[in-house]
Chain A
Amino acid sequence: MAYTEPAFKHSLKINDYLCQGCTTCMRSCPTGAIRIRNGKAHVNDNKCVDCGECMKVCPHKAIYIKQDDFALIENYRYRVCLVPTTFIGQFEQKYKTKAIYACLKRIGFTHIYEVEHEVEYIVELYNKYIDQHPEINTFISPYCPAVIRLIQVRFPSLVDNIIKVRAPSELAALIMSNRLIDEGASPESIGIFYVTPCAAKIAAVKYPVSHKDTRIAGVINMDFLYNKVKLMLRDSDNDAEPVNHSLSTKDVLWPLPGGEASLFNGSHYAVDGLQNVLNFLERLEDEAVDAQGLVEMRICDQGCVGGVLAINNRFVARKRLEDRARLFDDPSRNTSRYTRYNNPEFCKWIDEQMEIPEIKPRSIYKLDDDFQEAFKMAERMKKIEKALPGVNCSACGAPSCAALAEDIVRGDANINSCIFLNRHSPDSEEIIRSIWGDHVKTRKTDNEKNNQ
């Protein structure tokens, strides 16, 4: 029997109306999750890691991320905007952070809470985990959810290197709801809405690898919120009520490359960008790099400001966030942590909540659970690959000849799909249409049109 896992959900979707089946996304996908059928891109649930690469390269803007209905916030009396500092990095320096937050309040939020409030404690959790696992040399940060999922499907031997701690957004939601409950709010009256810079972080809230409950009530795409704020932002907003900055400069810089590493005292590495992450994991798996300590990994180039929903050019946003972060270096700032962090019982509870019990490997390579069967399939696959032209033209609807060979042995495609091999076959027109749909241009359709 072929290897299957219960269908895994992802947040990237294809708009069939806009998709032209141009293969750009399919060729860029790091897990080979996309195929063209009937002239449209299709995403395989088990393979997609929501890295967002397809969406970044799509020339037709046909890939989108489903978000929660913004009107959902109306269901709550306490409406918390849980916002990563990536968001304030999108705005020009002339707008103060409090001006941006004033707009968020005008839109309907009652509280603004930065995700990075809790990163100091997250690093403490990393340290605890590292101390408890002397048998592990290289610890991979769990911060970027696309990295976790990439490891599960492409580098399953490295799942145990991931620090099993949930995301700072989950901790921030937990602490913020506790703060409000301390002030007398009832749990049902609190709605915490997380503003996401990418697809992976939505998926991590909706389909968490921890399989644990979340205090996040909904997720809002960063580009959507940016547009709302940008439209109403006025110079006069700079005179808004001051916000209680308890973040430090380093906290603010967390989403940028090196953001985790800079809060971490031990030996550390910082890797960002899809290709760099792939190369590093590949080398790590082969034990070809001897990386001791913490490896921070973000799938997006320039970290979270490179997220597919972050609006501005990532280099501009990085500079803006760095400039803004300096303003947080105010010695008089209120550095008070949530008071209950002083309570060991509470911390014990938090630590339990923040634990990821297990990260399961979900190899996309394995052909079958049975070795002998997998062996036969691999042999067949090698033969088929030899017979294919090796030009990786993608006309079969798969990203490469090797991918087609794999689809064939898995029973998901047919050798006839290779238009290269079948170019003289009387069925070649039929084959092309089955993959590319009726609208695709071929010489025959052109001739038919001309004859009409």
Chain B
Amino acid sequence: MHYTFDIERGNFADAGQASSSVKRTLKQLGVAPANIRRAVVALFEAEINAVAHAYGGTIDVDIDGSKIVMVVADQGPGIPDLDAAMQEGWSTASAKVREMGYGAGMGLPNIKKNTDDLKIDTKVGVGTTVTMTIYLA
């Protein structure tokens, strides 16, 4: 099953639609609550990053009999130092983003913690693609 969503730049209010829709499907499938939570948390964090740090982008979700693969892609500024960005508490979030309650530098570490496979392709000036896999069974 395939789902596609668009992410709008700076639209924090609408962020979360993709994760709600994914959540609904996973509930229909009777996936264990812990796995649903992991998928929703990871997808939400990746989506927020595309909203906050890039210029929006797209979300592609694929669910098959054994796993869920979620790809969040943006054509944003890219991440210059990925190792640093993966550290807890490391953030370049603007004052405005912090005011919204984000910017603790916990997003990427949280994604790492909640996924079984994580791949981040990023190039400065080109964009970032985050591919997250969770095994369901």
| Contacts from A to B (Cβ < 8 Å) | 3, 156-157, 282, 285-288, 363, 365-369, 371-372, 374-375, 377-379, 381-382
Are B40's CB and A286's CB within 8 A? yes
Majority SS of interface residues in chain B?
helix
Chain A residue at minimal CB-CB distance from B38? A287
How far does the alpha carbon of A368 sit from the alpha carbon of B30 in the complex, in Å? 7
Other A-B pairs beyond A157-B37, A365-B24, 7, CB < 8 Å: A3-B30, A288-B44, A371-B30, A371-B136, A371-B137, A378-B29, A382-B1
Assuming the contacts A286-B44, A372-B65, asked whether A366 and B28 have C-beta atoms less than 8 A apart, the reply is: yes
B80 close to chain A: CB less than 8 A: no
How far does the alpha carbon of A282 sit from the alpha carbon of B16 in the complex, in Å? 11
Chain A residue at minimal CB-CB distance from B24? A365
Digit string of B64-85 for contact with A (CB within 8 Å is 1, else 0)?
1100000000000000000000
* Contact residues in A for B19 (Cβ distance below 8 Å): 286
Are B36's CB and A157's CB within 8 A? yes
- Which residues between 34 and 77 of chain B lie within 8 Å of chain A, taking CB atoms? 34, 36-37, 40-41, 44, 63-65
* Contact residues in A for B33 (Cβ distance below 8 Å): 156-157
| Smallest CB separation, B131 vs chain A (Å) | 21
Majority SS of interface residues in chain A?
helix
How far does the alpha carbon of A372 sit from the alpha carbon of B137 in the complex, in Å? 11
Chain A residue at minimal CB-CB distance from B37? A287
B17 close to chain A: CB less than 8 A: no
Q: Which 3 A-B pairs have the closest CB atoms?
A: A157-B33, A365-B27, A366-B30
Are A367's CB and B44's CB within 8 A? no
B9 close to chain A: CB less than 8 A: no
B123 close to chain A: CB less than 8 A: no
Taking a contact as CB atoms closer than 8 A, the residue among A286, A369, A379, A382 that contacts B30 in the complex is A369
Taking a contact as CB atoms closer than 8 A, the residue among A282, A286, A287, A371 that contacts B29 in the complex is A371
How far does the alpha carbon of A157 sit from the alpha carbon of B26 in the complex, in Å? 12
B94 close to chain A: CB less than 8 A: no
* Contact residues in A for B27 (Cβ distance below 8 Å): 363, 365-366
Taking a contact as CB atoms closer than 8 A, the residue among B28, B41, B44, B137 that contacts A378 in the complex is B28
Of listed B23, B30, B64, B137, residue having the most chain A CB within 10 A = B30
Chain A residue at minimal CB-CB distance from B66? A371
Interface extent on B, as a size class? 20 to 34
A-B contact count (CB 8 A): 59
Chain B residue at minimal CB-CB distance from A409? B28
Are A379's CB and B41's CB within 8 A? no
| Contacts from B to A (Cβ < 8 Å) | 1, 16, 19-20, 23-25, 27-31, 33-34, 36-37, 40-41, 44, 63-65, 136-137
- Of the A-B pairs whose beta carbons lie under 8 Å apart in the complex, a sample of 26, sorted by A's number, is A157-B34, A157-B36, A157-B37, A282-B20, A285-B23, A285-B40, A286-B16, A287-B41, A288-B44, A363-B27, A363-B30, A365-B24, A366-B27, A366-B28, A367-B28, A367-B29, A369-B30, A371-B30, A371-B65, A371-B137, A372-B65, A374-B30, A375-B64, A375-B65, A378-B28, A381-B28
How far does the alpha carbon of A288 sit from the alpha carbon of B19 in the complex, in Å? 12
* Contact residues in A for B63 (Cβ distance below 8 Å): 375
Are A374's CB and B29's CB within 8 A? yes
Assuming the contacts A286-B40, A375-B65, asked whether A367 and B1 have C-beta atoms less than 8 A apart, the reply is: no
| Smallest CB separation, B8 vs chain A (Å) | 19
How far does the alpha carbon of A372 sit from the alpha carbon of B37 in the complex, in Å? 20
| Smallest CB separation, B70 vs chain A (Å) | 15
* Contact residues in A for B44 (Cβ distance below 8 Å): 286, 288
* Contact residues in A for B24 (Cβ distance below 8 Å): 365
How far does the alpha carbon of A3 sit from the alpha carbon of B28 in the complex, in Å? 11
Chain A residue at minimal CB-CB distance from B137? A371
Chain B residue at minimal CB-CB distance from A285? B37
| Smallest CB separation, A361 vs chain B (Å) | 8
* Contact residues in B for A288 (Cβ distance below 8 Å): 16, 44
Chain B residue at minimal CB-CB distance from A3? B30
Of listed A156, A368, A378, residue having the most chain B CB within 10 A = A378
Are B28's CB and A365's CB within 8 A? yes
Assuming the contacts A156-B33, A367-B30, A371-B137, asked whether A378 and B40 have C-beta atoms less than 8 A apart, the reply is: no
| Smallest CB separation, B30 vs chain A (Å) | 4
Are B37's CB and A378's CB within 8 A? no
How far does the alpha carbon of A2 sit from the alpha carbon of B59 in the complex, in Å? 32
How far does the alpha carbon of A369 sit from the alpha carbon of B44 in the complex, in Å? 27
* Contact residues in B for A375 (Cβ distance below 8 Å): 1, 29, 63-65
* Contact residues in B for A369 (Cβ distance below 8 Å): 30
| Smallest CB separation, B35 vs chain A (Å) | 10
* Contact residues in A for B64 (Cβ distance below 8 Å): 375
| Smallest CB separation, B134 vs chain A (Å) | 14
Are A378's CB and B25's CB within 8 A? yes
| Smallest CB separation, A399 vs chain B (Å) | 15
Chain B residue at minimal CB-CB distance from A383? B1
How far does the alpha carbon of A282 sit from the alpha carbon of B23 in the complex, in Å? 10
How far does the alpha carbon of A377 sit from the alpha carbon of B27 in the complex, in Å? 13
| Smallest CB separation, A386 vs chain B (Å) | 12
